[in-house]
Structure 1
Amino acid sequence: MLLRLIRLFTLIVTFVCISSATFAISLGELQNSPQFWRERHSSSVDVYLDLNSIQSTLYNPPKYTLKFKVYTVDKKDKYIGEGNVIADYDYNKSIEGIIKRNNLAKMPYTSEKVKSTVKKAKLKDSGVVNELNISAIYDLNGNEIYSGNLIKAAGKSKVDATSSGYIISVKAFKQYYNVNF
């Protein structure tokens, strides 16, 4: 009986070690897999959205919440940060919502009045609120540097419509829902 328990324990430990090793990510994987969409943050930092990780956690129009993984590649300091994002969306603040609220639905999207109204409204409030927690850190070859307790990188806060956080969140939203946010 004790021998069976030891074998079972050994098997479980082996499985856990193999499973956790398979979740490590390298720069090559991020750059070459269609599973990852890249947003260039700056010349030394890229942010990748894991398209396969997008999940809806709240569908209560006009409020939506998605959960997804992002990978931040810092080429200068040579690491990859794996993060879990929770993104809340208020569809009333989408492009379509802004146009409807301002009675501009009969005007083409390309008109200056529509562009100006949408830009002002989005800069005032993008409609996106994000929370980011770091779950792991890897070197560029995919070797684990840190994993364990989540590191709160950013609490729930409004996202600026010109930021990478907004672009990544809208990309996730568009991947999941067929709308113009």
Structure 2
Amino acid sequence: MRHVLSVLLTGVFLAMGVAPGKAEPMTPFVQAAHYGFSGVIAKIQSGVLFVKTEKGLQPRTISPAKADRVGLHEAKVGEPVNLLVDSGNVLIDVSRTDRFFPEHRFIAGMVRYSDPYWSEIQLSTPEGLASYEVDPLAGSKLSVLQEGMPITIELDADNVLVDIHRGR
């Protein structure tokens, strides 16, 4: 019961856009097919951050480009981080534990172009044609998209596509 209450409160904080006041590890939560949990940077090699996660969860790696984009360019071994993965267990976002995940935006539209090398997507939206950079971990989702398909994309705080949802 205590765990359920904790998960519900975390959901309320997320819905309100409120960050927890302390720099404690996150309580695992599920939000719209996303799962959040904490880990600790165990090793840094060639700019890649190797994150050890809670027991039973696979270790994660964070590329130098993603680490720079999310503000972890000066990360240290032993530093705790919060991780957010999608329903396919793909890393969507990462943040320091003293900051909560920045808000993500959702944009609905029709696919006009998806780069075969997974770096860009173009959508036709009610506001017009828009192009977005694609996070390399989300790029594999582009291969199943067809021109004219209605989708909703999820953008991180840097306006980079981190997840795709079919339909509107």
Give your verdict on TM over 0.5.
no
Higher-strand-fraction structure: 2
TM-score (norm. length: structure 2): 0.29
TM-score (norm. length: structure 1): 0.27
Higher-helix-fraction structure: 1
Higher alpha-carbon Rg: 1
